[in-house]
Amino acid sequence: MVFTADDKQLIKSLRQSKGYSSRRFLKEFLQKNWTRRGLDYVLSNIDKCGTTERVPGSGQPRSARTSDNVATVEELVQSQEVKLQTHRTVCETARETDIHRSSIHRIIIKDLALKCIKK
């Protein structure tokens, strides 16, 4: 069961003010159809962090799409104005930078907003 923002605020206030447990929430809010596992997860976040929101920086850090790699790929993929036809393909860029081919493709599409066209 996905909790709405209002549900999370209600759970947070009752947990902090009255110390409700997951079983107490289930008993008092039967119409909500909450699961005990879901409530335990929300309550553990409230106890650890004091909030129901995701903690910034808690996900897996970026490894391939860093700003340095984006700049490197941008140099290699686009033709220079002075030297036309000097761009490289996705595979050539991947070989030169030691970044995986799919990561190069993702950088080109998402970060540089370009399209990959096969020769």
pLDDT digits (tens, 9 = 90+) for 29-74: 999 999 999 999 999 999 998 888 887 888 888 788 899 999 999 8
What span, in angstroms and rounded, lies between the C-alpha atoms of 116 and 119?
Answer: 9
Q: Say whether both 105 and 71 belong to one domain.
A: yes
Q: Which helix (H) or strand (E) holds 46?
A: helix 36-49
Q: Say whether both 43 and 77 belong to one domain.
A: no
Please check whether residue 8 is in contact with residue 52, taking contact to mean a CB–CB distance below 8 angstroms: yes
The torsion angles phi and psi of 88, rounded to 5 degrees, stand at -120, 155
**Do the domain assignments include residue 54?**
no
Helix (H, G, I), strand (E, B) or coil at 21: coil
Mean pLDDT of 6-15: 94
| Amino acid code (one letter) for 30 | L
**Do the domain assignments include residue 26?**
yes
**Do the domain assignments include residue 104?**
yes
Looking up tokens 């119409």, which residue turns up? 31
